Amino acid sequence: MLPFRPGAPPAAIPGILVATSFLVGETIALLLLRHFAPTERMGAIYLLGILVVSAIWSLRLAVATSIASAITFDYVRDWPHGHVLSVELQNGIVHTIFLVVALVANGLAGLARARTNEVEARRREAAAVARQQAGLRRIATLVARGVAPAEVFSALVDEMVHCLHADAAVLLRYETSNDATIIAASGATGVDHLPGAHLALEDGAQAGPAMGFDASVCAPIRVGGCTWGAAVLRVKGLEAELVNDFAELAATAIANAHTREELTASRARIVTAGDEARRRLERDLHDGVQQRLASLRLRLGMVTATLPAGLPDVAEQLAELNAGLIGVAEDLQEFSRGVHPAILSSGLRPALCTLARRSAVPVTIEVNVDDPIAAPVEMAAYYVLAEALANAAKHSAASRVQVSVRCDGPDLRMTIRDDGVGGASPRKGSGLIGLTDRVEALGGQLSVASPIGRGTSLDVSIPNSLTETALRNHS
């Protein structure tokens, strides 16, 4: 419940001028109308000015106006024989009536002003709460979308300044008990308190006074049970609970970012381990089974060369064995290519063009890649195209596939479209699930659009500049 605080009436001087104007106007009206009706019945004319002044101005001016109106009416009623200080009973009654009207009107006006102020205060309070909730909702939407923490922090301080009417808002990350780093700032923070600046907190000093804020509110940001940092506002008369809501959203954004980093790191480790296992398998096949097959072929050739003439059946069987060994060697070689694409050693462009040439569906490919591509990104791009071409041949009944590969700033972007029957979805258990995991493990995105009867489109974006660092940190 808001306190009862009547609004202050307007200044007295305009009220005096208005009261005087009403007295003059009412007196002139009375003098003009006295010829048409008895003056004793025309005292109500002066009530208009009393009501107006009592409703708008202070009680003192209302009482003065009522007394002045009564005296003026007494004098004008008997004009030109009236007396200002008449003490007749009827004059006392007039004075009393005018005074009561002034008191009642002024009291009702004061009560109305108080009610109006209360309603206005509640309206402002509701508007402030709505504004704060809207700001919190906007920040929560950014957090839910998984936007980068830096963008969330920047929006957070802007919303705190706007929603809480603060002069400045700052987010701090505690480095040690006596040192903090400003990670986001908005408003009049000063040139020394921009993002990236360090703040010394000597002897456990509060962040607000340490930044030179004359009045401040500070709310801790707690992540995982530990105090990660703080939200500091330069503002007067603000409850800390309002800042806590924003600080909790900052903590949620930080926790979500940590979770996403851990998930990405886990995916990266899985992808790296799988690639290493493929390389070991390829190496074992090459150094083990394929070498033994080559040795057996040599020994079989030596036996065939020393075979006496006149044994055509034996020679034919040896030839069949040799052909079988050749077939097994070719199958193993093809299998090893699928395990790990050795063709990537020549670069991404030749590898993708080779896939396009081998495709059962005609492929139009355009590769505009001049910058060096990280090995994990090359491998992901290779597998994406291989899976897309395999799906186009097996499932989509496509007659043409268009492939575009390019570097877009720090990202490698691929677009693969076919004119097949559509209907592809990663949720249906296709190889697209594994490709999505591989791409997202590198911090990229893979989107599939496959409306029924309108073909399939794959759009892939993989950050090239950060992949090697990320994998090196998590492998």
Q: Residue 88 pLDDT > 80, yes or no?
A: no
> Domain check: are 347 and 456 in the same one?
yes
Sign for the CA dihedral angle at 54, 56, 59, 60 comes to negative
The whole-angstrom separation of Cα 295 and Cα 300 is: 9
Using the 3D structure, point to which of 67, 88, 122 is the last residue of a domain. 122
Higher pLDDT, 393 or 337: 393
Q: What is the pLDDT of residue 8?
A: 62
pLDDT per position as a tens digit, 139-148? 888 888 877 8
Q: Residue 183 pLDDT > 70, yes or no?
A: yes
pTM confidence score: 0.49
In a domain, 113, yes or no: yes
DSSP H or E run through 352:
helix 348-358
In a domain, 134, yes or no: no
In a domain, 103, yes or no: yes
> Domain check: are 17 and 113 in the same one?
yes
> Domain check: are 330 and 349 in the same one?
no
> Domain check: are 62 and 154 in the same one?
no
Q: What is the pLDDT of residue 402?
A: 94
Q: What is the mean pLDDT of residues 111-119?
A: 78
The whole-angstrom separation of Cα 260 and Cα 294 is: 49
Question: What is the number of structural domains in the chain?
Answer: 4
| CATH code of the domain containing 177 | 3.30.450.40
C-alpha distances (whole Å) from 105 to each of 66, 108, 211 are: 11, 5, 53
Going by pLDDT thresholds of 50, 70 and 90, the confidence category of residue 363 is very high
Q: What is the pLDDT of residue 417?
A: 93
Q: Which of 33-47, 183-197, 245-259 has the lowest mean pLDDT?
A: 33-47
As beta bridge partners, residue 173 has 181, 229
Q: What is the pLDDT of residue 415?
A: 94
> Domain check: are 397 and 466 in the same one?
yes
In a domain, 358, yes or no: yes
In a domain, 138, yes or no: no
Higher pLDDT, 36 or 377: 377
Going by pLDDT thresholds of 50, 70 and 90, the confidence category of residue 471 is very low
Going by pLDDT thresholds of 50, 70 and 90, the confidence category of residue 46 is confident
Q: Could you tell me the residue range of the domain that residue 186 belongs to?
A: 147-259
The whole-angstrom separation of Cα 80 and Cα 100 is: 28
Going by pLDDT thresholds of 50, 70 and 90, the confidence category of residue 472 is very low
Would you say 407 and 369 are in contact if contact means Cβ atoms under 8 Å apart?
A: yes
Q: What is the pLDDT of residue 89?
A: 45
Q: What is the mean pLDDT of residues 56-74?
A: 79
Of 72-86, 248-262, 307-321, 391-405, which one has max mean pLDDT?
391-405
> Domain check: are 211 and 303 in the same one?
no
In a domain, 7, yes or no: no
Q: What is the pLDDT of residue 400?
A: 92
In a domain, 35, yes or no: yes
Averaged confidence pLDDT in the chain: 77
Higher pLDDT, 318 or 237: 318
Q: Residue 450 pLDDT > 70, yes or no?
A: yes
Going by pLDDT thresholds of 50, 70 and 90, the confidence category of residue 338 is low
Using the 3D structure, point to which of 339, 361, 389 is the last residue of a domain. 339
Q: Which of 259-263, 277-281, 469-473 has the lowest mean pLDDT?
A: 469-473
Q: Among candidates 448, 453, 474, 469, which has minimal Cα distance to 388?
A: 448
Q: What is the pLDDT of residue 429?
A: 58
pLDDT per position as a tens digit, 279-334? 677 666 666 676 777 777 788 778 888 878 777 888 788 888 888 878 777 767 66
> Domain check: are 293 and 413 in the same one?
no
pLDDT per position as a tens digit, 244-262? 888 888 888 888 877 777 7
Q: What is the pLDDT of residue 466?
A: 47
> Domain check: are 323 and 400 in the same one?
no
Sheet holding 411-418, edge to edge: 363-368, 401-408, 411-418, 457-463, 445-449
Using the 3D structure, point to which of 242, 259, 276 is the last residue of a domain. 259
Going by pLDDT thresholds of 50, 70 and 90, the confidence category of residue 470 is very low
Q: What is the mean pLDDT of residues 385-414?
A: 88
Q: Residue 154 pLDDT > 50, yes or no?
A: yes
Q: Which of 164-173, 180-189, 199-208, 239-248 has the lowest mean pLDDT?
A: 199-208
Q: Among candidates 286, 456, 473, 461, which has minimal Cα distance to 388?
A: 456
> Domain check: are 190 and 275 in the same one?
no
> Domain check: are 335 and 353 in the same one?
no
| CATH code of the domain containing 376 | 3.30.565.10
> Domain check: are 311 and 348 in the same one?
no
> Domain check: are 232 and 267 in the same one?
no
In a domain, 462, yes or no: yes
Of 96-105, 138-147, 402-411, 417-426, which one has max mean pLDDT?
402-411
Structure tokens at 33: 């109308």
Sheet holding 216-223, edge to edge: 198-200, 179-187, 168-176, 226-234, 216-223
Q: Residue 191 pLDDT > 60, yes or no?
A: no
Q: What is the pLDDT of residue 4?
A: 37
